Chain A
Amino acid sequence: RPAVMNAFELISTSQGLNLGVLFEK
């Protein structure tokens, strides 16, 4: 349930923070 989620947990799922994409061929 989103109401108990940590805000930073939510933020860290942001697409712009997924640098793994850089390494995908």
Chain B
Amino acid sequence: CCDLDLHKQPKGLEDPEILARETVFSVSEIEALYELFKKISSAVVDDGFINKEEFQLALFKTSQKESLFADRVFDLFDTKHDGILGFEEFARAISVFHPNAPIDDKIEFSFQLYDLKQQGFIERQEVKQMVVATLAESGMNLSDEIIESIIDKTFEEADTKHDGKIDKEEWRSLVLRHPSLLKNMTLQYLKDITTTFPSFVFYSQVDD
């Protein structure tokens, strides 16, 4: 009944070996990650790509929620800037969140995440916008006075050149002093991805 070609890789996963070489994942992990990708990318339109609506749906279980950060993360994943994520973009970006990924990659990614206007530095107004968005997203309520004092303190510590902005070098020394700021850049789940998505073995090309 079937014309199964077991050696043919699924669409979007044509070259798992190259992706494995260029990320921290093994070939099996790339294949397992593809299972997650398939699930997310078929939620609204089964076209082999994750669009913003599907990304939001996977993150929040609703596509209605407005989130500055979900948008920002999506845009950073979308290295081809075409509004959709192919598997390769997804795998390369997620790789940065692996516990074994180099800390410099995490520092760079987090800096870009917070550099909303992509000017090469994080300015006070951007930090305020992000704090306000975080509070709104989590339903917390802080007075403007308290928000300003939190930002004052943060800049006192981070902005060592006293020019009102945080550049990459200042960001790096801040997060090295406070590693907890990079906590959300590491997903322990990625260590167990082959057991979370075991169905990749049905077409796997490798035994590792």
* CB-based contact B154/A19 at 8 Å: no
The secondary-structure label for the interface of chain B is: helix
Query: In the complex, A22→B131 CA distance in Å?
Result: 23
Known contacts A2-B142, A14-B69, A14-B133; decide if A19 and B97 are in contact (CB<8 Å): yes
Q: How large is the interface on A (under 10, 10 to 19, 20 to 34, 35 or more residues)?
A: 20 to 34
Per a CB cutoff under 8 Å, which of A15, A16, A22 touches B40?
A22
Can you list 11 A-B pairs with a CB-CB distance of less than 8 A?
A2-B150, A6-B178, A7-B153, A8-B127, A8-B154, A11-B127, A15-B138, A20-B187, A20-B188, A22-B59, A23-B193
Interface residues, chain A, with chain B CB atoms under 8 Å away: 2-25
Whether A11 lies near B134 (C-beta < 8 A) is yes
Count A-B pairs with CB separation below 8 Å. 100
Chain B 140-174 interface 0/1 with A at a Cβ cutoff of 8 Å (1 = within) = 00100010011101100100000000000000001
Whether the Cβ atoms of B69 and A16 lie closer than 8 Å is: yes
Count, chain B residues at interface, CB 8 A = 44
Residues on the B chain within 8 Å of A18, using CB: 59, 184
Interface positions of B (Cβ within 8 A of A): 36, 40, 58-60, 67-73, 94, 97, 113-114, 127, 130-131, 133-135, 137-138, 142, 146, 149-151, 153-154, 157, 174, 178, 180-181, 183-184, 187-190, 193, 196
Q: Beyond A12-B180, A17-B184, A23-B187, list 19 extra A-B contacts (CB 8 Å).
A: A2-B150, A3-B150, A6-B150, A6-B153, A7-B127, A7-B130, A7-B154, A8-B114, A9-B180, A10-B150, A13-B184, A14-B69, A14-B138, A15-B59, A15-B60, A15-B67, A17-B69, A21-B59, A23-B193
